[in-house]
Amino acid sequence: MEKNKNIRENWLMRDASAISRFGFIFMGKALKEHNVSGGDHGTIMFLSKHPQVNQDFISHRTMLDKATIAKSLARLEEQGLVMREVDPNNKRAKIISLTEEGEKIVNIVEDALDTWSKQVTEGLTEQEVQKFTALAAKIARNARSLVHEGHCKCD
């Protein structure tokens, strides 16, 4: 059987890697003066859309390891951008929220993301962007299932 050329050359994984890497680099530069690293912008954005959640929830939704989230939040707390309070109903868990300072950063992050999104989707129709985003979500979910089979509460 003839294998798909794109698959054989592995451009799917390579391009996905490039998109995320360049995205992190871009966001890191854009948020440098606020001492927010390239990856941590995702945590901020997630918190702005999903306030008052615990770290495990963030970990599952962002598809990042709980250790990665813990360290990201520690950095952001250090910068005074998030608060971590022990859940009174479950002393194991911590309820995460953005501080006032963190809320201010959200707009800056959004602006940087808009700039990035506009630039990287140049030459694509709105419909193509929508399609791409939807397909990427599906593929990402499949990839997680493949690597972490049975370990995910969301499936």
Partner DNA sequence: GGGCAACAGTTGCATATGCAACAATTGTTA
Partner DNA sequence: TAACAATTGTTGCATATGCAACTGTTGCCC
The stretch near DNA (CB under 7 A) out of 1-9, 69-77, 105-113, 123-131 is: 69-77
**Does residue 12 interact with a copy of itself by CB under 8 A?**
yes
Query: How far apart (Å, rounded) are the C-alpha atoms in residues 120 and 56?
Result: 31
Judged by beta carbon distances under 5 to 8 A according to partner kind, the member of DNA, a copy of itself, none in contact with residue 83 is: none
What's the per-residue H, E or C state across 95-141?
EEEECHHHHHHHHHHHHHHHHHHHHHCCCCCHHHHHHHHHHHHHHHH
47 near DNA (CB under 7 A): no
Stretch touching a copy of itself by CB under 8 A, among 22-30, 52-60, 79-87, 96-104: 22-30
- At residue 54, φ and ψ (nearest 5 deg) are -100, 175
Dihedral angle, C-alpha 54, 59, 45, 100, nearest 10 °: 30
Residue 12 binding DNA, by CB under 7 A: no
Q: Is 74 in the site for DNA (CB under 7 A)?
A: yes
> In the complex, which residues of this chain contact DNA (CB under 7 A)?
17, 21, 24-25, 37-40, 42, 54-56, 59, 63-68, 70-75, 84, 90-94, 147
